[in-house]
């Protein structure tokens, strides 16, 4: 990935304004060396062992309901096949009742599927919030330990020479170490 523009005129003006507020002259700001890092929080979160553990945990929590939905689908298919095969031998009343049964099964299935998806999405969001908080905490600790002056989020910056500034790999390594401890 090539270089990206990290700081625009507004950012520089903001840094200069902050430095002036802190009693530094703009020339001093320009001459001072800063340690700046860029982190891809989404990549760090999605490739961490904590993310995989959360996915497995959620899969386990929802596996029983998932199997129940699959069984419901199979039952609907069986009833539909009976309906198609028996159409010629069924009375119109029997056929009508069989159609009603299939419609009822489809509605029940759709309700159960909607509830399943809503519950799973809520659970995924809950685990994602926890993971994001951990990634931010690890990133902050890494920044303190390695004495970064500024860490910015990838995709939010206008320019960054990512080869020099990207600390995502270090964040992921820390997440792995923290995961092993737990």
Looking at the structure, tell me whether residues 50 and 133 fall in a common domain. Answer: yes
Q: Record the tokens describing residue 93, joined without a space.
A: 């009343």
CATH number at residue 163: 3.30.910.20
Phi-psi region of 175 (alpha: psi -120 to 50; beta: other; left: phi over 0): alpha
Looking at the structure, tell me whether residues 19 and 37 fall in a common domain. Answer: no
Q: What is the pLDDT of residues 136-172, one digit of tens each?
A: 999 999 999 999 888 988 888 766 666 777 888 998 9
Asked if residue 2 has pLDDT above 70, the reply is no
Partner residues linked to 6 by β-bridges: 158
Partner residues linked to 123 by β-bridges: none
Q: Record the tokens describing residue 11, joined without a space.
A: 């950012």
Q: How many Å apart are CA 165 and CA 151, to the nearest integer? A: 9
Alpha-carbon torsion angle 109, 113, 115, 118, nearest 10: -170
Q: Record the tokens describing residue 162, joined without a space.
A: 């990512």
Contacts of 11 (CB under 8 A, 6+ apart): 158
Looking at the structure, tell me whether residues 134 and 103 fall in a common domain. Answer: yes
The pLDDT, as a whole number, for residue 62 is: 97
Is 77 among the domain residues?
yes
Residue 87 belongs to domain spanning: 33-181
Looking at the structure, tell me whether residues 87 and 42 fall in a common domain. Answer: yes
Reference 113, options 152, 68, 75; nearest CA is 68
Q: What is the pLDDT of residues 33-76, one digit of tens each?
A: 888 888 999 999 999 999 999 999 999 999 999 999 999 999 99
Is 153 among the domain residues?
yes
Phi-psi region of 155 (alpha: psi -120 to 50; beta: other; left: phi over 0): left
Looking at the structure, tell me whether residues 23 and 42 fall in a common domain. Answer: no
pLDDT range class, residue 10, cuts 50, 70, 90: low
């Amino acid at each position: 990935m090539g270089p990206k523009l990290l700081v625009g005129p507004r950012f520089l003006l903001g840094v200069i304004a902050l430095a002036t507020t802190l009693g530094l002259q703009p020339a001093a700001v320009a001459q001072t060396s800063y340690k700046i890092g860029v982190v891809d929080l989404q990549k760090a979160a999605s490739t961490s062992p904590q993310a995989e553990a959360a996915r497995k945990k959620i899969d386990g929590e929802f596996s029983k309901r998932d199997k129940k939905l699959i069984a419901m689908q199979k039952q609907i298919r069986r009833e539909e096949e009976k309906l198609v095969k028996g159409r010629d031998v069924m009375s119109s009343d029997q056929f009508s009742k069989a159609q009603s049964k299939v419609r009822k099964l489809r509605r029940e299935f759709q309700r159960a599927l909607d509830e399943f998806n809503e519950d799973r999405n809520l659970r995924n969001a809950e685990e994602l919030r926890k993971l994001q908080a951990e990634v931010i905490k690890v990133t902050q600790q890494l920044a303190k330990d390695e004495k970064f002056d500024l860490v910015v989020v990838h995709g939010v910056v206008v320019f960054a020479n990512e080869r020099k500034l990207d600390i995502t790999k270090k964040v992921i390594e820390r997440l792995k170490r923290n995961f092993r401890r737990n």
